[in-house]
């Protein structure tokens, strides 16, 4: 058998096994964020996501974001599909979507609609425990 075909098969089998492994979002994730809002305009700052509890494919925690006016902490509740391809959450005003880049890197975007519409995105790194 061709060595290239064997290498691809090993890679695919390894990837499938890795994707099926359970993963944990519990921990503290931090990184820079950029936001554009209808009323307040553009802002940058730091976002810290703290996932305090995970039970199966659901989780809870809070997002702490830095602002010139002071930090804001908001609780959130989330869930994900069996292999973690789709991860979503909500707070009392908007919706989060997440992409688990690897076990220690998490991208997220957040949106709110209405009179104070806004969109935010960030790349977060899990902090060592």
The reply to whether the predicted model has a pTM over 0.75 is yes
In a domain? residue 67? yes
DSSP 8-state symbol, 9 = H
In a domain? residue 13? no
Which of 13-17, 79-83, 96-100, 106-110 shows the lowest mean pLDDT across its residues? Answer: 13-17
In a domain? residue 40? yes
In a domain? residue 3? no
Measured distance CA(88)–CA(78) in Å, rounded: 5
**Terminal alpha carbon distance of the chain:** 45
2 pLDDT band, cuts 50/70/90, is low
What value does the mean pLDDT of the chain take? Answer: 85
In a domain? residue 2? no
In a domain? residue 11? no
pLDDT in tens, 11-60: 444 444 344 456 899 999 999 999 999 998 999 999 999 999 999 999 99
**What is the domain count for the chain?**
1
Question: Which residues neighbour 12 within 8 Å (Cβ) at sequence distance 6 or greater?
Answer: none
In a domain? residue 75? yes
CATH of the domain at 34: 2.40.128.20
């Amino acid at each position: 058998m061709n060595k290239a075909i064997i290498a691809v098969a090993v890679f695919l089998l390894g990837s499938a096994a890795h994707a099926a492994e359970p993963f944990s979002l519990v921990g503290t994730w931090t990184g820079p964020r950029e936001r554009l809002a209808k009323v307040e305009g553009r802002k940058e700052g730091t976002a810290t996501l703290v996932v305090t509890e995970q039970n199966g494919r659901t989780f809870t925690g809070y997002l702490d974001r830095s602002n010139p006016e002071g930090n804001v902490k908001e609780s959130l509740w989330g869930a994900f599909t069996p292999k973690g391809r789709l991860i979503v959450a909500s707070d009392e005003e908007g919706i989060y979507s997440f992409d688990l880049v690897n076990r220690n890197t998490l991208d997220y975007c957040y949106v709110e609609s209405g009179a104070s519409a806004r969109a935010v995105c960030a790349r977060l790194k899990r902090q060592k425990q």
